Structure 1
Amino acid sequence: MESSFIIKSLSGLHARPAAMLVQKANSFPCDISLVKGDKKVNAKSIMSILALGIEANEKIVVITQGEKEAEAMQAIGEFLET
């Protein structure tokens, strides 16, 4: 599955929200990736997420693949948009 989301947090995905995203991603057995521009990273790795430098109001593509991918997409999407 693949969906786009706009980051609503005014501070983007800095350390604390990135850690929360990794924790949420790790609660699902499927593969979860984030794509920003031409960079694709594992959403279960905090260093990878921080390396993207995601700012407020940026568009991020989330890709889920595997068991419980729909549930993961919904949970990650809700997190990114709040």
Structure 2
Amino acid sequence: MHEAIAETAEGLRLPLVLRVRGGLHARPAAKLAQEAQRFAADIRIETENGQADAKSMLDVLSLALPQDTELTLTASGPDARAALEGLAAYLDSLRD
């Protein structure tokens, strides 16, 4: 997974495909926001339909991410790499 994290001028980026059956509905979105809040880094979720603050459940829900959505997690701050790795591991744990 570390190989997929890229450094950019805006911070670190990690492209993913959301493999959660039913998409990112209320419960996993709330848990994702809760996980993101553990980190000091600014963390965003970007899709072709927009972007959201990963620390805000309402922002995450507003993206209405269905299963198999391609998204990019971006993070900047002192623990950006750990944040991306942690959130990617959480999303991976939701797979069927």
Q: Same fold (TM over 0.5)?
A: yes
Which residue does the alignment assign to 1:81?
92
Q: 2:45 aligns with which of 19, 34, 51?
A: 34
**Is 1:60 the counterpart of 2:62 in the alignment?**
no
Structure 1: 4+ residue segments shifted above 6 A = none
**Is 1:5 the counterpart of 2:21 in the alignment?**
no
Instruction: Write out aligned runs for 1:20-31 (5 A).
Output: 20-31=31-42
- The higher relative CO (CA closer than 8 Å, separation ≥ 6) is in 1
Distance 2:16 2:90 in 1: 10
Structure 1, unaligned runs of 5 or more: none
Distance 2:69 2:22 in 1: 11
Which residue does the alignment assign to 1:17?
28
Q: How far is 1:38 from its partner?
A: 4.5
Larger Rg belongs to: 2
**2:72 alignment partner, SS class:** strand
Percent identity over paired residues: 27
Which residue does the alignment assign to 1:45?
56
TM-score (norm 2): 0.81
Structure 2, unaligned runs of 5 or more: 1-11
TM-score (norm 1): 0.94
